[in-house]
Amino acid sequence: MKGIDEYVHSLYANVSGKEAKELKQEMRSHLIEAVEELKAKGIKESEAIEIALERFGDEKQIKSGLLTMFKSQKKFAKWLFRSAFIFLLIGLVVSISLYMKDNKYIETSDLMAHVVETFDTKGNFTPEDEQALKDMVDRNSRYFENISYFALVKNTEEQGKKTSEQLFVHGREGTGEFGENGLMKQGIAGEDTWHVEWEYETYDYLKYEPYYYVFFAISVVLFVLWGVVNFYHRRLKAFA
């Protein structure tokens, strides 16, 4: 029916996409069905088409409704994309910040291992060694600002009796803000001769590990939704 085809085509002239085509076909089928019902009552086809179109609604109002619907879809898609991008940026910032914080604990362990390696080949602990450790603490203040207790310990064994002697101590054991039982104490053995031990003022290594991933996960979900909306909801061309 030419009149119905022209009417439907005029409504969807400025929109495209799979959903628009489906709506267009559904509207056409509905109008044709209405015309056939009127023709069955003895009304001429041209008059039946006119009546069906009048019942369906004003063309301008329908165009306005379609325009609003597709613009809403467009805004929603933009919101999804922007939100996904924002969460991606937040995830990057948070991950970098947490990595820098957690990496500090790894670097501290590496520093302590280096101290043990230095004393592995030594015999007696000298005043020069003590000064060297003081200088080491000063040079590495960025690590020691979070260490409440640090000690270099020499292990000896005489007549089957093992003893440990603290030859250098920085800070005091058990003085962290969480108390003695709440602090992290680590030791690195150096061939059963030397080891170092230390306690952190605060220890939260990998405490916030889930935050490495949560913002990226949200971002991925939003990007997927944005892709789905873009795929199934094509927007206006001329009026977008």
Question: What string of pLDDT tens digits covers the 240 residues of the chain?
Answer: 676 766 666 666 655 656 566 666 777 777 778 778 878 888 877 777 777 767 665 444 555 555 566 667 778 888 999 999 999 999 999 888 888 888 888 899 899 888 888 887 777 889 999 999 999 999 999 999 988 889 998 887 777 777 888 899 999 887 765 444 445 555 655 446 788 888 888 877 767 778 878 999 999 999 999 888 877 665 444 333
47: which 2 tokens? 């008059």
Q: What's the pLDDT at 223? A: 92
Q: What's the pLDDT at 141? A: 92
Residue 54 phi, psi (nearest 5): -65, -40
Separation CA 15–CA 45 (nearest Å): 29
What is the helix (H) or strand (E) element at residue 196, kind and residue range?
strand 194-200
CB atoms within 10 A of CB 183: 20
* pTM tops 0.85, yes or no: no
Instruction: Look at residues 63, 43, 17 and name the one whose alpha carbon lies nearest to residue 239.
Output: 63
SS3 43: coil
Could you say which DSSP state residue 127 is in?
Answer: H
3-state secondary structure 14-34: CECCHHHHHHHHHHHHHHHHH
CATH code reported for the domain at 94-200: 3.30.1140
Q: What's the pLDDT at 168? A: 93
CB of 137 within 8 A of CB of 144?
yes
Separation CA 88–CA 99 (nearest Å): 16
Identify residue 161 by its one-letter amino acid code. Answer: K
124: which 2 tokens? 């007696």
Domain with CATH 3.30.1140 in the chain: 94-200
Instruction: Look at residues 150, 186, 144, 185 and name the one whose alpha carbon lies nearest to residue 166.
Output: 150
